[in-house]
Amino acid sequence: MMNIMNRLINLTLIISMSFAIFPVLSDDSEIEVIEVRAQKRVQPLQKVGITMAAFGEDQLKELGVTDVVNVAANVSNVQVNYGLGNNFFNIRGLGLNEFTSNLDAPVAVHVDEVYMSKGFMTGMTLFDIEHVEVLKGPQGDLFGRNTTGGAVNFFTNKPTSYFEAGVNIGYDNYDTFTTENFISGPLSENLSGRLSMYITEQGEGYYYNTTRQDDEGAVKEKAVRGQLLWENDEGTSALLSIHYGKDKSELHPYEGVGNTLPDGSGFCPEYLNGTVQGDNANCLRGLDLIFNPGQDVSQYYPGENDPYTTQNNLSFDVDNESLGGLVRVEHQLDNALFSSITAYEQFSQDQREDSDGSPVTSVEVYWHTEFKQFTQEFRLASDFDHNDWNYIVGLFYEHDDFDNADYLTAYLPFNGLNNYSKYNQKVDAVALFAHIENELTEELRLISGVRYSWEQTNLTGGTYKGDGLKSINGKEQPVTITGIASTAANLSDGGLRTDENVTFKAGLEWTPQEDILYYGSISTGFRSGGYSVAFAATQDELTSLEPEEIISYEIGFKSTLANRSLQFNGSIFRYDFQNGHIDVDAPNSPVPITINAAEIETIGAELDLQWVPIDGLKLTSGVGWVDAELKSDLTLKTGIGEVQLQGNRPAFNPKYTYNGQARYAWDLNNGYDLIFASDWSWRAEQYLEVNNQPSNLIDDYWIVNARIALESSENDWRISLWGKNITDTQYVTYLNDLPAFGWLLRGYGAPSTYGATFEMKF
């Protein structure tokens, strides 16, 4: 590893020195300087020794970014995993693909520096965004737990001391109306406020259901945020921010792909070799065929191979509600800044899904979650502008209360048809951290950090078998189909686990020239342990998970060249995992369970380029490579027999990624600018399950978006015509392979959409 690193260091030196003599093209063709808070203080992006990407508000609008999927598509080695109606970031092959929603993701998401521990918390808070930062690699010292893959930080716009307001209205070909508006300004001499809101009403879903003769998958969301900012002349400020959101959408339904021969005698060959696509008369889905031979099977393959044509008998309804807020207090001392961030979040989730994707009742799931989170962080940061050494020290506390009640009806190989999963999970976490930067010379800086973390997880409840329960939280649910009775056997009385962890970072930053930075680091991180509890069929499947631990070795460079018209950045990394969390299919469970995979080894590299060759034209490009492998000798029992996992590639882990953007602004010389823009991304083939079977290998795919806009030269209004996924690529974002139960489920990304947006600022 050291020989490889030395060679790559030499290579990056040669490449950077070569670009240092790149010819100067234009003084006006400069790349915008983006300031970030990746190290909990404001710094220029190119001065931070972390591999990362950042997008400012203007760039987000130019790209037409409306959700986290658009952000991920424009960053190398980053994508989004879809599951349970939530989107989870995946960085360098690390992301959440667990079925159990009480587990934490390995990529931490923060909104205004508040940790959002569950994926469902972020959806209704991501509007009126100032900028986004994507940090790659473990961030164990400053951000702590659940950053083995990295962190994604969203920052919203704050109240202004001057009046401003804005309106953004959009409409697309699926009868989708969107609006995002704000008003901001002074309320008194020391007090300012900001009110922002957004609404999305989709009249027609992307999917058409032939069973229920209706479209489905429509998005219906609304949210509002109010903020008050008080500042005085003595260096003290206090920010109060409160947000509320409501989601009455329909989840994107699954395409149910059969794997069973019509006579129920075994698996069809197309499933075993991975060639089955959509409807197939030779591959039927659902155990209903086995239990009810001779039934009319035409409903299983109505002749539709379009993934946006579905046959599920149950709609994927959602009724979610979010409420939260924060109080941020800062006070400038003589040589340091004190910060306190107090935050509270609560989320209520009700949703249902047809988990077999077929027109008959085979597996249907009803979810209910009540989640509350309180966090507190205190920080003291020295004045980084005037000292040879600086520090950030802090204390963090978090308390989570997770109530979950899920109900499943299914043909299962154990007593009864109903399966009820009910549990409460409480988590308390405390951390102490310190981050120190020493200026060894004018060119060389030593970075060091350490964090002590303690957390306790207390889970009570578990999975109940049988049909003794007919109602959840007062809401009537389906009764059993056969009337088979059984005792409600509790598969778990819960558990209490306490974990401690010390994570660190040690690195060097070398700046031989003003606009060239080389950096290298060794850092560690961990992902919280816990319990995988949803719908376990046996006591063994109620697994207690050890914390996932990672040690990372990384070197990289950042360069700004050719009169600031060119940025060229690159990095290489190696990860070594212990107790890595992986999602696997159990032979007797209708849902995946999470286990510890012991050792995983990952190596990879990234190159990113931004170039402004002439005034008005901007080109960007990014390429990523990741090679990951399970090293442990693991054998998995599945519905098709035992599968050896050693040597397999983790799920959602494409070996190569590529993304690019092109934007040209044409000055019409009459007070208007005409903007032409396009962005594109490519993901190599990847397995969506760790067993690496042909049935869960998805092909590589391209996504191309385009936009044309007319705007005023003063940037106070803009009208845009846009298209997303203009090639109408059909690509899989979710997969659940359950061979023993007769089907393979696929979820797809959005088809081609096009529309118009009007923006105005006052």
CATH code of the domain in which 750 resides: 2.40.170.20
Q: What is the rounded CA–CA span in Å between residue 142 and residue 503?
A: 10
Q: Is residue 412 part of a domain?
A: yes
Q: What is the rounded CA–CA span in Å between residue 53 and residue 38?
A: 10
Q: What is the rounded CA–CA span in Å between residue 37 and residue 113?
A: 9
Q: What is the pLDDT of residue 367?
A: 84
**The residue to which tokens 């989320």 are assigned:** 347
What domain count does the chain have? 1
Q: Is residue 165 part of a domain?
A: yes
Q: Is residue 262 part of a domain?
A: no
Q: Is residue 583 part of a domain?
A: yes
What is the three-class DSSP state of 8? helix
Closest C-alpha among 567, 584, 450 to residue 506: 450
Q: What is the rounded CA–CA span in Å between residue 327 and residue 239?
A: 6
DSSP 387: -
List per-block mean pLDDT (blocks of 10 residues) for the chain, which spans 762 residues.
Answer: 53 50 51 90 93 90 75 90 73 81 89 91 86 94 92 96 96 95 96 97 91 90 97 95 95 81 76 72 63 58 74 87 97 94 96 79 82 97 82 97 81 50 90 96 95 92 55 33 34 72 96 94 93 67 82 97 93 94 72 80 96 93 95 77 86 94 92 94 93 89 96 91 96 81 82 96 92
Residue 729, domain extent: 2-254+312-761
Closest C-alpha among 230, 479, 251 to residue 331: 230
- Count of Cβ atoms closer than 10 Å to residue 716 Cβ: 12
Closest C-alpha among 282, 251, 253, 254 to residue 266: 282
| Helix residue ranges, H only, 454-605 | none
Question: Bridge-partner residues for 179, per DSSP?
Answer: 169, 199
CB 459 within 8 A of CB 390: no
CB 752 within 8 A of CB 728: yes
Q: Is residue 271 part of a domain?
A: no
Closest C-alpha among 211, 216, 174, 208 to residue 308: 208
Closest C-alpha among 598, 553, 555 to residue 580: 598
Q: What is the rounded CA–CA span in Å between residue 504 and residue 522?
A: 8
Q: Per the structure block, which two tokens stand in for 142?
A: 């400053």
Q: What is the pLDDT of residue 83?
A: 59
Q: Is residue 634 part of a domain?
A: yes
Q: What is the pLDDT of residue 25?
A: 44
Q: What is the pLDDT of residue 252?
A: 85
Q: What is the pLDDT of residue 695?
A: 85
Closest C-alpha among 598, 703, 704, 697 to residue 651: 697
| Helix (H) and strand (E) counts in the chain | 5, 48
Per-residue b/e over 226-244, b at no fewer than 16 CB within 10 Å? bbebbbeeeeeebbbbebb
- Count of Cβ atoms closer than 10 Å to residue 609 Cβ: 16
Half-sphere exposure of 141 (CA within 13 A, CB side): 23
Question: Bridge-partner residues for 504, per DSSP?
Answer: 450
Q: What is the rounded CA–CA span in Å between residue 551 and residue 542?
A: 28
Q: What is the pLDDT of residue 256?
A: 77
CB 504 within 8 A of CB 141: yes
Q: What is the rounded CA–CA span in Å between residue 31 and residue 567?
A: 8
Q: What is the rounded CA–CA span in Å between residue 570 and residue 605?
A: 7
Q: Per the structure block, which two tokens stand in for 100?
A: 């159990």
CB 455 within 8 A of CB 432: no
Question: Bridge-partner residues for 592, per DSSP?
Answer: none
Closest C-alpha among 141, 151, 160 to residue 36: 151
- The pTM is what? 0.90
Distances (CA, A) of 442 to 48, 439, 499: 16, 7, 41
Q: Is residue 282 part of a domain?
A: no
Total length of the chain? 762
Q: What is the pLDDT of residue 537?
A: 59
Q: Is residue 126 part of a domain?
A: yes
